[in-house]
Amino acid sequence: MLQSFFEPKSIAIIGASKKPGKIGYEILKNIIEGGYVGKIFPVNPKENEILSLRCYHNIKEIKDHVDLAIIAIPATAIPSVLEDCGVKGIKNVIIISAGFSEVGNIELENRVKKIAQRHGIRIVGPNCAGIINTWYNLFASFEVRCKRGGISLISQSGAFGGAFITRANYENVGISKFVSYGNAIDINESHLIRYMADDKTTKVIGIYLESTKDGREFISAAKLASKKKPVVVLKAGRTMSGKRATVSHTGSLAGDDKIYDAAFRQAGVIRVFDFDDFIDTLYILETGMLPSNDNIFIVTNSGGPGVLAVDECEYIGLKVPESSYELKEKLSFLPPICTIKNPIDLVADANYSRYYDTLKVLAESNEVGGVIVICVPPIFIDPMDIAKAIVDVKAIFDEKKKPMIACFMSGDVVAESIKFLKENKIPVFQTPERAARAMQKLVLRKKIIERLQSS
């Protein structure tokens, strides 16, 4: 049902404009510049040509079949345009326009819904930011374009989605799909979750949620998806004031947060509580890594960040056991000044070989479930050498099926090293706390899989 939204062979933009800054202009420009190869039909009664494309005065002028119509016109004009879409035989519509139940105009929203039902039209929106499918070169949205990846974002808020994509671009994180569904008068988060669950380019599903109108259906869809891939939710409207704010945003009233919390656990959903943790969690879960056991070891060249990592790990429920006698024996090649208990402190002058040899031992040890490796480079050590050691030992971690997460601190000094690590598929964070929380999500995902498989 959703295939033609994400892979349309032809698109009509109703409300296309010649004026930069207008939503109808930005969406059309995004579709063209994004490399979409299907047919594009701008529609505006006042124009004959927009961005070198013939412009149609109304949707009925278009002789070709239209897979998807995107509507960006004043809300009051939408019923008659939607009637025209129905007569034309268009079955998939994205309504970008706001001005419906979110501002109290429930009557107009219901009228649009009835017209769509009469013509068999499926709707995303209204009051939304559109759809992106990077693997189809489709940027049917007024949000920024993004690089390809495995994260798919379902967002009730268009602006949140835009902020997420912008941050993902900054962090060099790729996106598979993005959909802003707004007021959800037809297609809702449950439909989209089911679609993403079976989508081959989606490795992890992220959801920004303010409310859901059908809790049972949401649990069913999320549980189905969680058995196949991770599902992460950032739920807004937790407080009384937040619930009130959702009414004026998407016209929906958020329910009791404790009920949502229980529903998420039942469905195998990973819940996060802030924007940074949301993007970090999706980023780490996209890797598909899972710890071989619950024991997390920390390797560092600086005692302070190592202690911070241990504190955060234990605070969020991770096990940071002391190295066994056997493991200490295997690490006995390290200089006496090094600490080998866990965290394993290689001290400030740690070079390529000290990092590589230590990480190799941990990768091959059955008592180690996953490793957080920290680098805080002093002025006499090139952080790129440490990054190369981590990349070179990655194959052993992959073979042993255990995660290795890097933490490179010091801002601009490590910028090139971080870029190098990401290019070589090493997840990397700039604080020990973020690295620890990322590892915790891998442990949590492993437990969710075990629970869902046994239920």
CATH fold for domain 1-126: Rossmann fold (3.40.50)
Average pLDDT over the chain, rounded to an integer? 94
Q: pLDDT at residue 250 above 60? A: no
- And the tokens for 206? 């992220």
Tell which residue, 235, 158, 224, 237, has the closest CA to residue 193. Answer: 224
Residue of higher predicted confidence among 245 and 264 = 264
User: What average pLDDT does range 124-131 have in this prediction?
Assistant: 97
- Interacting residues of 329 by C-beta distance below 8 A, sequence separation 6+: none
The strands making up 10-14's β-sheet, listed across from edge to edge, are: 39-43, 10-14, 68-71, 92-95, 122-124
Tokens of 70: 């995107």
Question: Burial level of 107, CB count in 10 A (0-12/13-18/19+)?
Answer: exposed
Q: Pairing mode, if any, of strands 49-50 and 53-54?
A: antiparallel
Higher pLDDT, 454 or 205: 205
The span from the CA of 265 to the CA of 246, in Å, is: 23
How far apart (Å, rounded) are the C-alpha atoms in residues 262 and 23? Answer: 39
pLDDT digits (tens, 9 = 90+) for 321-367: 999 999 999 999 999 999 999 999 999 999 999 999 999 999 999 99
The verdict on domain 143-286 having CATH code 3.40.50.261 is yes
181 vs 127: CA distance, rounded Å: 8
- The Cα 334–Cα 36 span in angstroms is 56
Higher pLDDT, 253 or 223: 223
Fold of 296-454: Rossmann fold (3.40.50)
The rounded distance, in Å, linking the Cα atoms of 155 and 145 is: 16
Angle at 453 between CA 369 and CA 202, to 5 degrees: 80
Burial letters for 203-219: b for 16+ Cβ neighbours within 10 Å, e otherwise? bbbbbbbbbbeeeebbb
Predicted confidence (pLDDT) per residue in 261-316, tens digit: 889 999 999 999 999 999 999 999 999 999 999 999 999 999 999 999 999 999 99
pLDDT tens, residue by residue, 156-214 = 999 999 999 999 999 999 999 999 999 999 999 999 999 999 999 999 999 999 888 88
**% pLDDT > 90, the chain:** 91
Distance of CA 380 to the CA centre of its chain: 38
What pLDDT is recorded for position 257?
Answer: 82
Q: Which residues contact 96 (CB under 8 A, 6 or more apart)?
A: 15, 23, 27, 70, 71, 72, 125, 126, 128, 129, 130, 142
Q: What is the pLDDT of residues 376-397, one digit of tens each?
A: 999 999 999 999 999 999 999 9
Q: Do domains 1-126 and 296-454 have the same CATH topology?
A: yes
Residue 455 has pLDDT above 60, yes or no: yes
Band (pLDDT 50/70/90 cuts) for residue 1 is confident
pLDDT for the residue 242 = 47
Amino acid at 196: M
Q: Kindly list the domain boundaries of the chain, sorted by start residue.
A: 1-126, 143-286, 296-454
Strands 130-133 and 175-180: antiparallel
Report CA torsion sign: 50, 56, 59, 62.
negative
